[in-house]
Chains A and B, each alone.
Chain A
Amino acid sequence: MTGQQFLQYIFSGITNGSIYALTALGFTLVYNATGIINFAQGELVMLGGLSAIGLYRAGLPLPLAFVGALIIVLIVAVMFEQLAIRPLMAKGVLAQVIATVGASLALRTAAMMIWGREALPLPPFSGDTPIRVLGASLTPQTLWVVGTTIVIVLALQFFYKRTLTGKAVRACAVNPLAARLMGVSYASVVLLSFAVSGVISAAGGAMVAPISFMSYSSGALLGLKGFAAATLGGLGNPLAAVFGGLTLGILEGLAVGLVSSGYKDAIAFVILLLVLFVRPQGLFGGRVVERE
């Protein structure tokens, strides 16, 4: 493998890794606020992609289709929380997790009925003339993906560290009862977490659609990889989730280059199993997020 090829695989790894990072962020936000693993997270990514494609095909300009997709998934995520998660609040986390499995099946089926079974493309956001970097080629879409991911991560950091509402969300993750005693509405924090996690996932889905197509069943694999990335970083830590996503993407890219593209999807499974066997708290899980 030459240096150029190596760089090429790294680029492709970072692109896919950014999408995994956004999906992993979605998992982490919901898990932090509620202790729930949202098995429908991948379906929200898929829905973001297919909604953008659907709106674009309906004649909307690409930027509007992108924003429209975020709004659609936002509405779906809020309805999901209101109809499936909130009524089960008293039944405990397990019942809620099972509800997310049900939601993932429902979303997948709905997507198949709306958009059919075929994988659909979306044009790249700003053309597809590659940029040459040190002999390797970088598509403009990669820059969109990486740039948007950076903006989202910075915005989340700002939200969690600098705003009172963000601090209230962190307080709820640590000690929901004490947060309520300070006047924080736990129900609102849960709703907010689902909403933000939905929008972030949708952004990932809409941005990856021009790179790898999107079909009703794409969510399962995206969800699994996002989950593997979140677990690798240590569930509950947003920055570690991003690191986990990028690591997974780059490892996949290198596996394609060094071994065979057939093994690409196996990497996530192997990482997931290794983490669960060897270091269940994740790479940065020294401090496990304490939940009541």
Chain B
Amino acid sequence: MNAFVDTPPSHDTVLRLRGLRAGYGAVEVLRDVDLDVAHGEIVTIIGVNGSGKSTLLKTISGVVKPWEGVIELKGENLVGLGVEQVVARGVVQVPEGRQLFGPLTVQENLELGSYSRRGKRGRPAADKMEEVFELFPRLQERRLQHAATLSGGEQQMLAVGRALMAEPRVLLLDEPSMGLAPLVVKEIFRTLRELNERGLTLLLVEQDARIALSLAHRGLVMERGRIVMEDGAASLLAADIQSIYFGHGGGRTDVTEDGHEKYPVVREGD
């Protein structure tokens, strides 16, 4: 019952990064990043603001051109391809901050999600839309509403649904929990897990390490453009996340009234 993927689960590497370097102008943001994502895996990259997580996803999507290194999808080189060519090959991104088309309706947003599939063989967009509506029934109720009028949680559902319309092989998610209430995040993450169980490969970057690791099979910690730690999600969760986060670079930790640490909330610089 593979709704959104066409190949059966296996342990093959789907996405492979080697020695990836990228940046803006003269500023190097990604320094020598290696990463393997296997088929059917959920991998999360956690790290503080400005550590290069968003830039990594943008580089994979072709928005930022890498200076050096390898990006491969099932052995096919993605470096040098335009953004729209990367999407057409099945690497689809749910960008930070949702980036919906606000004045367009929910349905139109979803239709545009299937833009990269137009003229290609495959299931009709209408069928895929029905599947998205099964996953997120609230989107169906609001299909004729403008996307800008949705609540934050519904907007994130639409952003995920829109990406699913492109029939991704790998779904990249940039801070899907940002700005959402914990209950809403739980609901969306439950759906992401369901999609993964149907065979979809997920790579998500998150600032909220706890929630990201609760979903992922494997976690990587990124710091100043480098992967500094990698482990199973459970062991990372068990480890003292604070020391993982701030052990090397130092950082500000705020403590809320009930004694829990919370991570610094600053807009990501990149």
Q: Which of B63, B101, B118, B162 contacts A180 (CB 8 A)?
A: B63
Residues of A within 8 A of B111 (CB): 164, 167
Residues of A within 8 A of B100 (CB): 175, 178
Contact status A183-B88, CB under 8 Å: yes
Contact status B84-A183, CB under 8 Å: yes
Q: Which of A175, A183, A287 contacts B101 (CB 8 A)?
A: A175
Knowing A164-B112, A167-B108, A184-B84 touch, does A178 contact B61 (C-beta < 8 A)? no
Q: Which of B83, B101, B118 contacts A170 (CB 8 A)?
A: B101
Q: Tell me if B201 counts as interface (CB < 8 A to partner A).
A: no
Residues of B within 8 A of A167 (CB): 104, 108, 111-112
Q: Which of B93, B117, B118 contacts A181 (CB 8 A)?
A: B93
Residues of A within 8 A of B102 (CB): 174, 290
Q: How many residues of A contact B (CB 8 A)?
A: 18
Q: Tell me if B99 counts as interface (CB < 8 A to partner A).
A: yes
Residues of B within 8 A of A184 (CB): 84, 112, 115
Q: Tell me if A1 counts as interface (CB < 8 A to partner B).
A: no
Q: Which of A170, A174, A177, A290 contacts B63 (CB 8 A)?
A: A177
Contact status B112-A180, CB under 8 Å: no
Contact status A180-B104, CB under 8 Å: no
Report A169-188 residues with CB < 8 Å from chain B CB.
170-171, 174-175, 177-185
* B79-95 to A contact mask, C-beta < 8 Å, 1/0: 00011100110001101
* B222-243 to A contact mask, C-beta < 8 Å, 1/0: 0000000000000000000000
Report B107-131 residues with CB < 8 Å from chain A CB.
108, 111-113, 115-118
Q: Tell me if B264 counts as interface (CB < 8 A to partner A).
A: no
Knowing A177-B99, A178-B99 touch, does A171 contact B112 (C-beta < 8 A)? yes
Q: Tell me if A254 counts as interface (CB < 8 A to partner B).
A: no
Contact status B95-A177, CB under 8 Å: yes
Q: Tell me if B103 counts as interface (CB < 8 A to partner A).
A: yes
Enumerate 12 A-B pairs (CB-CB under 8 Å) in ascending A order: A164-B111, A167-B104, A167-B111, A170-B101, A171-B101, A174-B102, A177-B63, A177-B99, A179-B101, A180-B83, A181-B87, A185-B82
Q: Contact residues of B with A, CB < 8 Å? A: 61, 63, 82-84, 87-88, 92-93, 95, 99-104, 108, 111-113, 115-118, 162, 166
